[in-house]
Amino acid sequence: MINQDDSRQDLAHEIKASTGIDFNCCLHCKTCANGCPFIEGMDYAPNAVIRLIQFGMEEEALNSSTIWVCVGCDTCSSCCPMAIDIPGVMDGLRHKAIKQGIKIAEPDILNFHTEVLNTVKKYGRTHKLEIMMRYKLKTMDLLSDIGMGLKMLKKRKLDLTPSKIQDKKAIGKIFKKK
């Protein structure tokens, strides 16, 4: 049973205004859901998240694991007959969830995003070794991927020291705008 919120248009308007994406033309053809490589890890299919927004089901949409599991690969939007930027919608929902202090359904994924952004902010580029180490410390999952990490180090897929861009001020400006 779906309980529609009386203010159901508010959420749709807000996400549309913040992302500039018109998802109301969604046909619910499920092409996005059928092609999504991460559908198994999601609680709602991508088109179902759009439906939640249309129904004003804010709590369900913002508490959904789907908005965090989505990696923004664009497989869905490139096949969508209405050219809807679905990862952009997910991004809008993630921003809203953080802003509202919602309990994040997949906190480890947010931790990972945060560590990636931290290295970009510091060096202007990602530093995979630092991302992995900080992420592992934060989640206290220290040993599960150690074999993979050692293999990557051996094959020189992980730089020990970060590579930095010259114009770090430009990066600072981008982060200030956010």
For residue 3, give the amino acid letter.
N
For residue 87, give the amino acid letter.
P
Among 9, 20, 72, 151, binds ligand SF4 (CB under 6 A): 72
Task: Write out the binding residues for ligand SF4, residues 13-52 only, by CB under 6 A.
Answer: 26-32, 36, 38, 46-47, 50
Asked if residues 77 and 84 have their Cβ atoms less than 8 Å apart, the reply is yes
CA 170 and chain centroid, separation: 24
Residues 6+ apart with CB under 8 A from 145: 132, 136
- Does 175 contact ligand SF4 by CB under 6 A? no
Q: Given the complex with ligand SF4, which of 24 and 163 has the nearer CB atom?
A: 24
Q: Given the complex with ligand SF4, which of 11 and 129 has the nearer CB atom?
A: 11
The token pair that represents 66 in the structure block: 């789907």
Q: Residue 129's CB: how many other CB atoms inside 10 A?
A: 18
Dist CA 162 CA 45 (whole Å): 38
Dist CA 45 CA 48 (whole Å): 5
Q: Given the complex with ligand SF4, which of 22 and 141 has the nearer CB atom?
A: 22
Task: Write out the binding residues for ligand SF4, residues 80-99 only, by CB under 6 A.
Answer: 80-82, 84, 86-87
* Minimum CB distance to ligand SF4, residue 130 (Å): 25
Part of the chain binding ligand SF4 (CB under 6 A), chosen from 14-22, 68-76, 106-114, 157-165: 68-76
Part of the chain binding ligand SF4 (CB under 6 A), chosen from 6-14, 65-73, 116-124, 133-141: 65-73
